[in-house]
A and B are shown apart, each in its own frame.
Chain A
Amino acid sequence: MDFSNKNLGVLFRIGDETIYFNQTHLSTWIVMGMLLILAVIVRLALPRFSAVPRGFQNVVEALVEVMSNFAKSTMGERFEGYGGIYFSIFSFILVSNYSGLVGLRPPTADLATTAALGLITFALIQIGGVREQRGQYLKSFFKPYPIFFPINLVGELSKPVSLAFRLFGNMLGGVIIVGLVYQMLPLALRFLLPDVLHAYFDIFAGALQAFIFTVLSMTFIRQKSVTD
């Protein structure tokens, strides 16, 4: 049984540390390439988009519209720019989670990817908080009493950690369970039986986790950015 993130080559060396090119990087680049090709196709097809959306155009429009409206409704008109960021992140997480279906190791089943995503959200939360509340933002860590500062700090730091580990744990759990079932089954039975598991762990949980990551990130940003 080997569910590890296999090293496929050497990426670069820094000092005595060697960074290996592993499966996560490979799938990340495949996912990125796919999304970029899709984006270029849409960009080229955009002038020929009809007024009445059909098929693929419908999907793209719906996703963009939903993200933009979601950003606007949860964070207000000024935060519409976050819609673009989370549109991209949502697409990346979704396609990453679904990449397990074609035999890749999902990039989100690696802590490095999810931690990177969590750090992006963390940075956006802090930027939003500082930009909207200025000096008040730092003070908000000492509320309601200065003694609460450690709790507030931990609460703030736990946000990206919980985001990262939630996504990572769910995806890795799926990879491990599906992998175990594949190992367990004889070759003849490996065709239809694991589909149920794929349907749950990859399709359902994948979409759900992508959605939850986006929703929670936006909610966190709103909490810090919008002062009522």
Chain B
Amino acid sequence: MGAAGAAAGLPDGVILSLDKSLLYNIAIQLFNVAVLTVALIFLLYKPVRKFLAERRQTIRAELEEARAIRDEALEQKEQYEKLIAGIESEREEILRQTHKRAMEKSDQMLFDARREAEVIYSRAQAELELERENLNDEMKRQIIEISHMMAGRFVQVSMDRAAQDRFIEHALSEWSGGGNDDGEGGEGEGGDGR
């Protein structure tokens, strides 16, 4: 007993009625659902689908772009790696070359230094020899001088006229007979004569 319906003078409602009013109600609901369907398709379904399709497109484009960029980057990386590998080998080559050259140079320098040292050494040796000879000469001369002086004094002291003559004679004969005696003796005689 619908209280509200009874109050308004309306008939009771039904749960299920198979009569003519059902057909009208079906028509009403058909209209309602059709309106709703059309409205939802044009308000909700199509725009959202368009949005989704656009987004899919955008994402695909972005993905492709990203893939292209990645490929490019990979290519560049490969190039750089190749370049770096080239640089490495070049560096090694240069290093080896430089090393070799340095070795050669150092060998050369060592050799030069040794030769120079040898030259210097031999020169020094020669000078030393010369010096020694000079020294020897000096010593001889001094010895001669000293002996000359001693001889002079001895002669002054002990020589008389006869002995002097004999001596000169002996010296002269020796001079003429053994003139080919070593120069030193001669020189010594010469110095003595002066």
Contact = CB atoms under 8 A, between A and B. Distances in A.
The answer to whether A and B touch in the complex, with CB atoms under 8 Å apart, is yes
Interface stretch (B35-43, B99-107, B158-166): B35-43
Contact of B11 (A7, A11, A67, A88): A7
Given A40-B43, A43-B44, A6 B30 contact: no
SS of A interface (majority)? helix
Interface centre among B26, B34, B52, B59 (most CB of A within 10 A): B26
B32 interface: yes
B4 interface: yes
A: contact size bracket: 35 or more
B25 A110 contact: yes
A220 B4 CA distance: 42
Contact of A60 (B27, B29, B32, B44): B44
Interface in B1-54: 1-2, 4-5, 8, 10-16, 20-22, 24-30, 32-37, 39-41, 43-49, 51-52
B40 A5 contact: no
Contact of B44 (A6, A39, A120): A39
B55 interface: yes
A172 B12 CA distance: 18
Contact of A36 (B30, B39, B52): B39
Interface in A41-69: 42-43, 46, 49, 51, 60-61, 64-65, 67-68
Interface in A172-186: 172
Nearest to A11: B28
Contact of B40 (A6, A24, A88): A88
A17 B20 contact: yes
A87 interface: yes
A86 B24 CA distance: 24
10 tightest A-B CB contacts, nearest first: A112-B25, A4-B13, A39-B43, A88-B40, A116-B29, A88-B37, A6-B13, A116-B30, A84-B41, A39-B44
